[in-house]
Amino acid sequence: MRYALLAPGKRIRPFFVAESARLFDVAEIHALQAGAAIECVHCYSLVHDDLPAMDDDDLRRGRPTVHKAFDEATAILAGDALLTFAFEILSNKATHSDAAIRGELIAQLAQAAGKDGMAGGQMLDLQAESEKVADLGRIVTLQAMKTGALFRFAVNAGAVLGKAGAKERAALALYADHIGLAFQIADDILDVEASSATLGKTAGKDKVAGKATYVDLLGLDGAKAEAGKLVREAKDAMQLFGAKAEIFIAAADYVVSRRK
C-alpha cells in the first residue's frame, strides 16, 4: 500500500481538492482528508489496472509496478485495501465532525469510483479494446466514466466541504469535465510523442494494445486543437471566481503543456 501510494506522482487530484477547498475558505485539515482519500482511490486503480489480466504494465511512476515489485496477490490485496482505506479516511469523524458533509463526500466518491464511474469505465475500455471499435462518442463516454468522474469529484470536493451554491458548483463541474477530457487527450498525445524514460511508464502502449485513442480518431493536430479548446472553455468558466481562480487557470495550461 505504501509502495503504491507514496511513489512519486503528480498528486493532481489532491491538488484540485486543496485548491477548490481554498476557493471556499475550507479548513486545510478537511481538504487533506478528502485529498488523501481520492489519492488512495487513484492509486488503487493504477495498481489494479497494471495487473497482467488488465493492462499488464511493468513500469509505473518510474518504478516497477506493484505486482512486479511484490507479486500479483499482493497487488490485488494492496489495491483492495487502498480503496477501502479511502472510505475509512473519509468516515473519520475526528478529522471532520460534520457527518452530513462527510456523508456527501463518501456518496460522491463511491459513485465516481464504482460501477457507474471509474470501474465501469475501465470495463467499457476493456470491451472496446477487444472489439476494436473506434467511435468518438463511445470513447468520450468511456473516458468521462473512467477518469472524468474521479476528476470531477476532486474539483467539486471543495464546494461540498465549503457548502458552495449551485452557480459555483456548476462552474467547477464544467471546469472539471473539460479539464478531465483535455487531460486524457494530452495523455494520448504523450503516449505517441514522449519516451518511456520521460513518462515513467511504458510509452506507445496504447498502440500496441490496439486501443482507440483520441489521436487515432482526431489525428495528432486535431487532438491538440481539441485539448486547447477544452482548456480555453474551462478557464472561461472559472472567471466567476475572479483572482482566486488564478491557480486553476495555470493548472489548465499545465494539463496540455506537461511533458509527462
- The answer to whether 141 and 6 have CB atoms below 8 angstroms apart is no
Site track for a copy of itself across 7-46, x = CB under 8 A: -------------------------------------x--
Amino acid letter, residue 52: P
- Residue 136 burial (CB count, 10 A): 13
Determine the straight-line distance between the first and last CA of the chain, rounded to whole angstroms: 24
160 binding a copy of itself? (CB under 8 A)? no
Residue whose CB is less far from a copy of itself, 94 or 243: 94
For residue 12, give the C-alpha cell: 493532481
- Residue 125 burial (CB count, 10 A): 20
Residue whose CB is less far from a copy of itself, 40 or 189: 40
Residue whose CB is less far from a copy of itself, 19 or 206: 206
Residue whose CB is less far from a copy of itself, 99 or 250: 99
Q: Could you give the CA distance from residue 246 to residue 62 in angstroms, rounded to a whole number?
A: 31
Considering only residues 165 through 204, tell me which ones interact with a copy of itself, judged by CB under 8 A: none
Judged by CB under 8 A, which of 12, 77, 192, 194 binds a copy of itself?
Answer: 77
48 binding a copy of itself? (CB under 8 A)? yes
87 binding a copy of itself? (CB under 8 A)? yes
Judged by CB under 8 A, which of 6, 10, 28, 84 binds a copy of itself?
Answer: 84
Instruction: Provide the 3-class DSSP secondary structure of residue 64.
Output: strand
Q: Cβ-count burial of 88 within 10 angstroms (0-12 exposed, 13-18 middle, 19+ buried)?
A: exposed
- The answer to whether 76 and 92 have CB atoms below 8 angstroms apart is no
Q: Cβ-count burial of 2 within 10 angstroms (0-12 exposed, 13-18 middle, 19+ buried)?
A: exposed
| Partners of residue 208 on adjacent β-strands | none
Min dist. Cβ of residue 17 to a copy of itself (A): 18
**Which residue stretch of 12-20, 65-73, 180-188, 248-256 sits at the interface with a copy of itself (rule: CB under 8 A)?**
65-73
Residues that bind a copy of itself (CB under 8 A): 1, 44, 48, 51, 53-54, 71-74, 76-77, 79-81, 83-85, 87-88, 90-93, 99-100, 102-103, 106-107, 109-111, 113-115, 119-120, 122-123, 126
